[in-house]
Chains A and B, each alone.
Chain A
C-alpha cells in the first residue's frame, strides 16, 4: 500500500493508491441541529435518481435517528466492533484505519450487508437513547436524547469503494472530486459495497451493477447544489468546495466552517477515508457519542456553535444555508447582511442576518377586530 497524508486524522496512513488530489473537491456541511427528519431530501433523491427496477431499496440519501437508527441495519456498529480503534492524541489518531486494519487478502477491512439488512429503512426512528420516565417529557431539558443524521455519499478523498474495486470501475473525478461507479465497467462483484464503511454503495439486483450517490454532478457542473440540498425544508445543508487546511480561504464558506471555525466535522474520521460531508454536531448529545462519530473536535465545535449568537461572522454565514440553489464559493458579511457569490464574484444571494421582526397588535382598531385566534 502507498502512504498518504490524511489531515482529518493528523497523520500519514496506508492507502491502496498513491495520493492524488483532484483540482477541486466537492464538499458539504450539514447542520444536524436543524434537521427535522422530514425525509424531503430522501424523496428528492429517490424521485430524481432511484425510481427504477432494482433501485427500490436504494436510498442514496437517507436520514436516520441516532443512536438507534441505521440503514442498512447496524452499518456503523458492525464496523466499529471490527475496527482496531485507538485513542486520539490531540488531533492525531492513534488507532488503525480500515485500510491499516485490512486482514490478509483484503484491500480494506469491511463487511458485506445481506439483503435483509436493507429491510428496515427507518428502524429506530425517533427512538431516544434511554427510558423516558413518567412525566419526564414534560420538563426541559429532556433527560434523554436523539438526533437526526442525514447521510449521502461522502465523496471521500481516500474512497474505500474505489480502493476495493479490483477492476478499477470506480473513479474520482479530477474536476470536482466526485466519486462515481463506471456503469460500463462494473461487473457487480460488490467489493465496493463491502468496503464502504458508510454503506453508501448499493447493488442493483436488476442490472447486476453497483450504484451510488453521484452528488447530482450534472447540477454541480452548472454551478447548482444537488437535489437533496435544495429541497431541504430545514435548510440544514450547504454544498461547496473544500481546500486543504493549509490552503483554507476565509471567504470560502466550507473552508470557514470546517477549517477556520472548526464547527463542521467529518463522520467517523477514524476510518481514514477523509470524508467530505462535514457535520455540525448536535448540541444536546453526550460528548462521548459526538466524539465517537465526529472525532476529537466535537466538544469545541459544539461550544463554537453555541457561541454563534456572539460571533457575528459565524451567525451570518449560518444564515446562508438553503438560501439559493446556486453553489456559493465565496461569502462575506457586511453589517447585518450576508451575501454569497460565485467564482466570478457575481452575487448569488443576499440575506439579512436578523430577520426583521414586526409585531402585529392583537386588536386591529381600524377594522375593530381581533387578528389572532388566541389573544
Chain B
C-alpha cells in the first residue's frame, strides 16, 4: 500500500516536471536569475512558449519554393543585460556536415538594431536600417563538440597522398607550416573560414537588405544546440536590445534551414516580425 502511494507521488511529480509551458501570442522575455545555454535546463520550464509559423522565403531569388519546417517554438529569458532564446523545431534528419551538395541544419534570430515601433523590413532589413542576426549551425555545434579538422573527419575513407604543408622540410606546428597551409586555403588566408574548429556554434551578423549579410564585430553572442528525439533544440544568447523594457517593445524574427532539403542562404523558412516584450520581475 505504501509502495502504491509512492508510485502515485512520483507520477504526479513527473507530470508537474514535464508540464508544457504556457503558450504565448508573442515572444515574451521573462526574467530569470541566471541564464543558461543548455536547451534542456530546468530554467526553460516556466518560460512561456510562442509557436511561430514559418513561411517560405519567396520574396527574393533564389527563393524556397517547397515548404519544409512548419513551425519553430520559441522561449526567451533574460537576466537584465542578456537575453537567451530557446528555439526548437521538428527535424527527423541530422545534417551537421557541409560538403559538395550538402547543407547543414541551422537557425537564426533577427532583431532590429534600433528598438522602436517602426522596424525595418523583416526580410534582412533595408538600406540604412540595420538588423542584427545571430545564426547557429549544426556543423559549428559539431566542431564545438569536438569534431576534428581533417578531411577524414568529413570523409572517413578519404585517401590523401601528401599536402605541401606536411613536407619534411617544414617543422610541425611552426609558423612556416601554418603559412604554407594558408596558401592552399584562400578563405582562411582572408580570415573567412566558414567551417572548422571554433569556440562557439553561433555567429553575430548585421544586414541592411537581402544579400548584405556581414559580420557584426560588436556581437558577443553564444549558444548551444542539442538533438532531441525528433528535432533540434537550440539556445542563442545575446545582448539584450538597447531600450527594450517592459514599456518599450521590439520585434524579433526567426529562420530555420533544413539541411536535408538543401536549404542555405536565401533558401529558408522564416517568420515575419513577431512582437517582442520584456516582462517585469515579479
Contacts of B62 in A (CB 8 A): 105-107, 164, 166, 191
Closest to B195 in A: A208
Contacts of A168 in B (CB 8 A): 211
Closest to B194 in A: A208
A326, chain B: closest CB distance, angstroms: 25
Which among B61, B164, B193 has the greatest number of chain A C-beta atoms within 10 A? B61
Say yes or no: is A320 at the interface (Cβ < 8 Å to chain B): no
Say yes or no: is A255 at the interface (Cβ < 8 Å to chain B): no
Closest to A114 in B: B101
A53 contacts B60, C-beta separation under 8 Å: no
Closest to A50 in B: B184
Contacts of A209 in B (CB 8 A): 186-187, 192, 194
Say yes or no: is B55 at the interface (Cβ < 8 Å to chain A): no
Say yes or no: is A118 at the interface (Cβ < 8 Å to chain B): yes
Say yes or no: is A288 at the interface (Cβ < 8 Å to chain B): no
A216, chain B: closest CB distance, angstroms: 14
Q: State which residues 82-128 of B face A: CB under 8 Å.
A: 97-103
Instruction: Write out, one digit per residue, whether chain A residues 92-114 have a CB within 8 A of any chain B CB (1) or not (0).
Output: 00000000000011110000111
Say yes or no: is B265 at the interface (Cβ < 8 Å to chain A): yes
Say yes or no: is B154 at the interface (Cβ < 8 Å to chain A): yes
B101 contacts A188, C-beta separation under 8 Å: no
Say yes or no: is A339 at the interface (Cβ < 8 Å to chain B): no
Instruction: Write out, one digit per residue, whether chain A residues 178-192 have a CB within 8 A of any chain B CB (1) or not (0).
Output: 000001111111110
Say yes or no: is B58 at the interface (Cβ < 8 Å to chain A): yes
User: Provided the pairs A105-B61, A168-B211, A209-B187 are in contact, do residues A51 and B163 lie with their beta carbons within 8 angstroms?
Assistant: yes
Partner-contacting stretch, out of A23-31, A32-40, A198-206, A234-242: A198-206
Which among A52, A118, A168, A190 has the greatest number of chain B C-beta atoms within 10 A? A52
Q: State which residues 166-213 of B face A: CB under 8 Å.
A: 181, 183-196, 210-213
Say yes or no: is A292 at the interface (Cβ < 8 Å to chain B): no
User: Provided the pairs A164-B62, A166-B211 are in contact, do residues A54 and B151 lie with their beta carbons within 8 angstroms?
Assistant: yes
Which among B103, B190, B192, B211 has the greatest number of chain A C-beta atoms within 10 A? B192
Which among B62, B97, B193, B262 has the greatest number of chain A C-beta atoms within 10 A? B62
Say yes or no: is A115 at the interface (Cβ < 8 Å to chain B): yes
Q: State which residues 23-81 of B face A: CB under 8 Å.
A: 58, 60-65
Closest to A189 in B: B265
Q: How far is the CA of A338 from the CA of B99 in the complex (A)?
A: 49
Q: How far is the CA of A19 from the CA of B52 in the complex (A)?
A: 43
Which among A49, A104, A189 has the greatest number of chain B C-beta atoms within 10 A? A189
From B98, B188, B190, give the contact of A205 (CB < 8 A). B98
Contacts of B155 in A (CB 8 A): 115
Contacts of A50 in B (CB 8 A): 184
Main secondary structure of the interface of B (DSSP, over half): loop
Say yes or no: is B160 at the interface (Cβ < 8 Å to chain A): yes
Say yes or no: is B6 at the interface (Cβ < 8 Å to chain A): no
Say yes or no: is B158 at the interface (Cβ < 8 Å to chain A): yes
User: Provided the pairs A186-B187, A188-B264, A207-B187 are in contact, do residues A51 and B151 lie with their beta carbons within 8 angstroms?
Assistant: no
Say yes or no: is B266 at the interface (Cβ < 8 Å to chain A): yes
User: Provided the pairs A52-B163, A113-B101 are in contact, do residues A185 and B192 lie with their beta carbons within 8 angstroms?
Assistant: yes
B101 contacts A55, C-beta separation under 8 Å: no
B265 contacts A115, C-beta separation under 8 Å: no
A292, chain B: closest CB distance, angstroms: 26
Say yes or no: is A193 at the interface (Cβ < 8 Å to chain B): yes
Say yes or no: is A167 at the interface (Cβ < 8 Å to chain B): yes
B61 contacts A190, C-beta separation under 8 Å: no
Q: How far is the CA of A206 from the CA of B262 in the complex (A)?
A: 18
Closest to A57 in B: B100
Closest to B193 in A: A207
A115 contacts B102, C-beta separation under 8 Å: yes
Contacts of A187 in B (CB 8 A): 194, 213, 265
Q: State which residues 201-253 of A face B: CB under 8 Å.
A: 202-209, 211
Contacts of A107 in B (CB 8 A): 61-62
Q: List 12 A-B contacts (CB under 8 A).
A: A112-B262, A114-B100, A184-B187, A186-B194, A188-B264, A190-B264, A191-B62, A205-B154, A206-B151, A206-B185, A207-B196, A208-B193
Closest 6 CB pairs between A and B? A52-B184, A208-B194, A105-B63, A189-B265, A208-B195, A207-B187
Tell me the A residues contacting B by CB distance below 8 Å.
49-57, 104-107, 112-115, 117-118, 164, 166-168, 183-191, 193, 202-209, 211
